[in-house]
Amino acid sequence: MRILSVDSSLGTQVAVLAAPGPTGTGGTSPVVLAHMAQDSARQHAESLGPMLAQVLTDSQAGDAALDAVVVATGPAPFTGLRAGLVAARTVGRARGVPVYGVPSLDAVARAALDALTGADAVSDPVVDPVVLVATDARRREVYAARYRGLGPDDVIRLGEIVVCPPQDVGDLGSCDAVAGSGAVLYPVIRSSVSPTSLSSTSEGGGQVLTPVSGDCRAQVRVALARLARGEQLPTDPLYLRHADVHVPPARGGSQ
């Protein structure tokens, strides 16, 4: 099956992946057939159209019809997240395929846990690690949550996703590593968390893992694992707070 992955929670990332079997079977990790990304957090609307056109017509990805679309649902700044969700829903409607949502931090957590437990781990793999994901929420705040792995492809969240100042992230609890754009942007996050094991410590606090944004392969793996369990994957956006732009009240007239 062919799956389009869209993530506009930080920069913009789109990819077409091949996954074995029908939707919801899980199994072997999806293979990326075409991928494009740009790092700007303020050019989603301008970049999404051309990037989608490129990956959907790529010679490696364009020889089979799409079977599904997977899109990041945030939390993330309002404008960029909305652009990605609208684009994903539009492609799904035009192609007549389902659109599934995965929270942005979940995909970052899955990729970070892979780095902690996989064969390519920098140090000895950590057994059943906890990773804290913190992504930039602007206004000098971050979106944050802690995770453990759930099987080889999914994650389980240890509490709700919160939006808070970087210095308050340590209140969420101990972890083996931190990941996400917020962890890179605010060094206080690395120094404020308490490690759960000696293998996670480094000078100045817990180690910071990539990716800083979502990972298209991890996003699709999480979606397929949840579909295999019969879960619903809504595409409702997770904003956690009101938009930065508000419509001003009308001048004059009765109130």
- Whether residue 15 lies inside any domain: the answer is yes
CATH number, domain with residue 32: 3.30.420.40
- Whether residue 251 lies inside any domain: the answer is no
Query: What pLDDT does residue 210 have?
Result: 57
Q: Return the closest-CA partner of residue 163 out of 187, 188, 186, 135.
A: 135
Query: What pLDDT does residue 254 have?
Result: 47
Name the residue range of residue 159's domain.
104-209
Q: How many domains does the chain have?
A: 2
Query: What pLDDT does residue 38 have?
Result: 85
CATH number, domain with residue 132: 3.30.420.200
- Whether residue 184 lies inside any domain: the answer is yes
pTM of the predicted structure, to 2 decimals: 0.85
175 in Cβ contact with 195 (< 8 Å): yes
The whole-angstrom separation of Cα 43 and Cα 192 is 32
Residue stretches of the chain with pLDDT short of 50 = 23-26, 197-205, 243-247, 254-255
Asked if 110 and 200 sit in the same domain, the reply is: yes
Asked if 94 and 163 sit in the same domain, the reply is: no
Asked if 99 and 160 sit in the same domain, the reply is: no
55 in Cβ contact with 35 (< 8 Å): yes
Asked if 111 and 194 sit in the same domain, the reply is: yes
- Whether residue 239 lies inside any domain: the answer is no
Q: How many CB atoms lie within 10 A of CB 106?
A: 24
Q: How far, in Å, are 39, 114, 147, 183, 253 from residue 144 at the CA level?
A: 21, 19, 10, 10, 44
Asked if 34 and 51 sit in the same domain, the reply is: yes
Q: Return the closest-CA partner of residue 10 out of 106, 86, 70, 75.
A: 75
